[in-house]
């Protein structure tokens, strides 16, 4: 559980995206695209669920990419190479549904691109022809663009400020792409909940099978606490054991958004206490 490599791969004045490689041969050997780990930085710290971006069986390295947002991810981001994590469990969750879908459209927003990356790799290795739409707030926060481009037939980039690619939102590029060509057999999307909701609405019009990887708040990550429950139609599912990938056209995104905000007040209080 030692951090064997650490790099800052995205940065602007408000945010940092950190990539760490953790030595864990067991997890590296078992990992399949779409799965995640739960990390505890110290005995007292909260459990942080993070998607595995990559793994290397030869070196036993598990690559994890995260944006420093709250107290716990900032604490994780402060660890130097050579330090060990208090706990690391995984791989957790179901692997993404990978097979040869033919033409696939992959949509990644912000740090969600790190979650899209292993799925793109696995889909390409299974013969899919991939078009990717990647978006970030600004050029310096756009991660893994070249790595993903290497597996895709076409890659479209968009940033809110136009510092790279087209200025605007992912959904603008998606709208144009689908207007020209809507014969995709699968859309796989990861990013902010609001973006995933919009993508789901757009692909529903064209009846394209769409999967989203949901980032509901998790506690134990093993189906025991119910924290990560999401509504799909009239069914309740647990992100950690039933997901994290779900049919986007069935997800109740409004309920998910409400549940995502339930610790906001506590997070503000922690920020105040630690003067972040
Ligand atoms: S995190 Fe507890 S049930 Fe999923």
Q: Is the pLDDT of residue 264 over 80?
A: no
> Shortest CA distance to 223 belongs to which of 128, 96, 94?
94
Structural fold of domain 103-260: Rossmann fold (3.40.50)
Nearest CA to ligand 1 atom 2: 225
Q: Is the CB of 201 under 6 A from ligand 1?
A: no
| Distance from the alpha carbon of residue 194 to the mean position of ligand 1, in angstroms | 22
The predicted structure's pLDDT at residue 265: 67
Q: Percent of the chain, pLDDT > 70? A: 95
Q: Is the CB of 224 under 6 A from ligand 1?
A: yes
The predicted structure's pLDDT at residue 266: 66
What's the token pair of residue 205?
């019009």
Average pLDDT of the segment spanning 172-179: 92
Domain with CATH 3.40.50.80 in the chain: 103-260
Q: How many CB atoms lie within 10 A of CB 137?
A: 17
Q: Is the pLDDT of residue 263 over 80?
A: no
Q: Is the pLDDT of residue 267 over 80?
A: no
Q: Is the pLDDT of residue 242 over 80?
A: yes
CB 253 within 8 A of CB 200: yes
Q: Is the CB of 12 under 6 A from ligand 1?
A: no
Backbone CA torsion sign across 27, 37, 112, 204: positive
Burial of 105 (0-12, 13-18, 19+ CB in 10 A): buried
CB 95 within 8 A of CB 9: no
Q: Is the CB of 140 under 6 A from ligand 1?
A: no
| Distance from the alpha carbon of residue 240 to the mean position of ligand 1, in angstroms | 6
pTM exceeding 0.85: yes
* DSSP-derived secondary structure letter, 96: P
- The residue whose CB lies within 8 Å of the most ligand 1 atoms, and thus the one to mutate among 39, 219, 256, is 219
How far from chain centre, in Å, is Cα 174? 19
Q: CATH for 3-92?
A: 2.40.30.10
- The residue whose CB lies within 8 Å of the most ligand 1 atoms, and thus the one to mutate among 226, 230, 263, is 226
| Distance from the alpha carbon of residue 38 to the mean position of ligand 1, in angstroms | 11
Backbone CA torsion sign across 257, 51, 32, 121: positive
State the average pLDDT for the chain. 92
Q: Is the CB of 236 under 6 A from ligand 1?
A: no
Q: C-alpha dihedral over 170, 245, 181, 151, to 10 degrees?
A: 80
Q: Is the pLDDT of residue 274 over 80?
A: no
Average pLDDT of the segment spanning 153-179: 93
pLDDT digits (tens, 9 = 90+) for 85-117: 999 999 999 999 999 999 999 999 999 999 999
Q: Is the pLDDT of residue 260 over 80?
A: no
Domain with CATH 2.40.30.10 in the chain: 3-92
| Distance from the alpha carbon of residue 235 to the mean position of ligand 1, in angstroms | 16
Q: Is the CB of 85 under 6 A from ligand 1?
A: no
Q: Which atom of ligand 1 is nearest to 221's Cα?
A: 1
pLDDT digits (tens, 9 = 90+) for 201-232: 999 999 999 999 998 888 888 899 999 999 99
Q: Is the pLDDT of residue 276 over 70?
A: no
Q: Percent of the chain, pLDDT > 90? A: 83
| Distance from the alpha carbon of residue 93 to the mean position of ligand 1, in angstroms | 10
């Amino acid at each position: 559980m030692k951090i064997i490599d650490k790099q800052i791969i995205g940065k602007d004045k408000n945010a940092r995206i950190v990539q760490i490689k953790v030595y864990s041969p067991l997890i590296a050997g078992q990992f399949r695209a779409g799965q995640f780990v739960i990390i505890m930085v110290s005995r007292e710290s909260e459990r942080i669920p993070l998607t595995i971006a990559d793994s290397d069986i030869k070196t036993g390295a598990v690559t994890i990419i995260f944006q420093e947002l709250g107290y716990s991810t900032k604490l994780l981001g402060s660890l130097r190479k050579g330090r060990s994590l208090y706990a690391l469990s995984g791989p957790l969750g179901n692997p993404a549904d990978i097979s040869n879908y033919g033409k696939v459209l992959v949509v990644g927003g912000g740090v969600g691109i790190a979650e899209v990356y292993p799925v793109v790799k696995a889909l390409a290795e299974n013969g899919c022809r991939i078009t990717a739409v990647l978006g970030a707030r600004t050029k310096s926060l756009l991660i893994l663009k070249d790595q993903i481009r290497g597996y895709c037939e076409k890659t479209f980039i968009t940033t809110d400020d136009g510092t790279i690619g087209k200025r605007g939102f992912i959904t603008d590029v998606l709208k144009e792409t689908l207007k020209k060509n809507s014969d995709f057999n699968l859309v796989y999307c990861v990013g902010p909940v609001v973006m995933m909701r919009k993508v789901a609405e757009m692909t529903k019009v064209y009846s394209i099978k769409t999967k989203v990887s949901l980032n509901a708040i998790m506690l134990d990550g093993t189906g025991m606490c119910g924290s990560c429950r999401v509504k799909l139609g009239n069914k309740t599912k647990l992100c950690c054991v039933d997901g994290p990938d779900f049919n986007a056209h069935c997800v109740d995104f409004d309920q998910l958004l409400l549940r995502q905000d339930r610790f906001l007040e506590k997070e503000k209080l922690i920020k105040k206490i630690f003067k972040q």
